[in-house]
Amino acid sequence: MIRRIIYKASGVVLLVSMMSMFVFPTSTHALVPPMTHFGGLANFFIPCTCSANLWVYFTPLYLSSVPITGPLVYTPYATLPYPNFLSGVPGVWHLGGFVPGVQACWFYVGITCVPIPNYGMMTLVGTSLPGAK
């Protein structure tokens, strides 16, 4: 008898709990296109000496569920930093938003500046601490 009551009560609570997840959904904070999300592990960076920003190379880089590799640009002031404020530091995971297709990294080569291609410019970014997995 006790088993049966526990069994039924558990079933009801489980069902109600699962339904409550749909009744009280969490809010989302999606970025407005053309801004989109990214996440990745920074490998190294190049200071873009003409445009005063950083070209950061990520492996892996998640622009969707499929991991790729590639660079994004971090621009001080224009890119909003979030904790732990370690943008561009090798071995640190990054998560944020970026605007695709903005070629904003220019490197000085002695007589002129040349563009260093990238996927886009970060609009906001937060980081892990070094060594985080």
Partner 1 sequence: MLYFSLMNKKTIVLSIGFIFVVACSILYFIFKDNTPFVSPVSVNQKTECLVFQSQYPERDCFRIETETASLPVITTKTSYPCNATNAIEAEDCVIKEVQKSKAIDKCADLEGVAKERCLGVTTIKPSIDTSIISIKKPTVATSSQDPVALAVPLFKENPISSVISTITNSVDPALTLDGFLARLKESYPVRLYNFSDYQVAPGTEAQAYGVNFDKIDNTLVIGGTKITGLASADGFTLTFKAPALSNGTYDAYVENKNGTSQNSGQKVSIVITSSPAPRPVIQSASPSPALPTDSVTLSGQNLLSGSNLVTTLGALSSVSADGTSIRFNISDLDKTKELIKSGQLKGQVFPLMIYVQNGNGVNKDYFVLNVQF
Q: Is 19 in the site for partner 1 (CB under 8 A)?
A: no
Asked if 82 interacts with partner 1 (CB under 8 A), we say no
Q: What is the rounded radius of gyration, in angstroms, for the C-alpha atoms of the chain?
A: 22
What is residue 100's DSSP assignment?
A: E
109 lies in the site for partner 1, by CB under 8 A: yes
Query: What number of chain residues touch partner 1 (CB under 8 A)?
Result: 54
CA 31 from chain centre, in angstroms, equals 12
Give yes or no for residue 130 binding partner 1 (CB under 8 A).
no
126 binds partner 1 (CB under 8 A): no
Between CA 111 and CA 5 the distance in angstroms is: 83
Which span sits near partner 1 by CB under 8 A: 55-63, 81-89, 125-133? 55-63
Stretch that binds partner 1, among 1-9, 81-89, 125-133 (CB under 8 A): 1-9
Q: 71: which residues sit within 8 A by CB, 6+ positions away?
A: 55, 56, 57, 58, 105, 116, 117, 118, 119
The nearest distance, CB 65 to partner 1, in angstroms, is 19
**Residue from 115, 129, 130, 132 in contact with partner 1 (CB under 8 A):** 115
Q: Which of 36, 37, 46, 81 binds partner 1 (CB under 8 A)?
A: 46
**Nearest Cα to 115, choosing from 128, 127, 102?**
102
Q: Applying CB under 8 A, does 95 fall inside the site for partner 1?
A: no
1, with CB counted inside 10 A (0-12, 13-18, 19+), is exposed
100 binds partner 1, rule: CB under 8 A: no
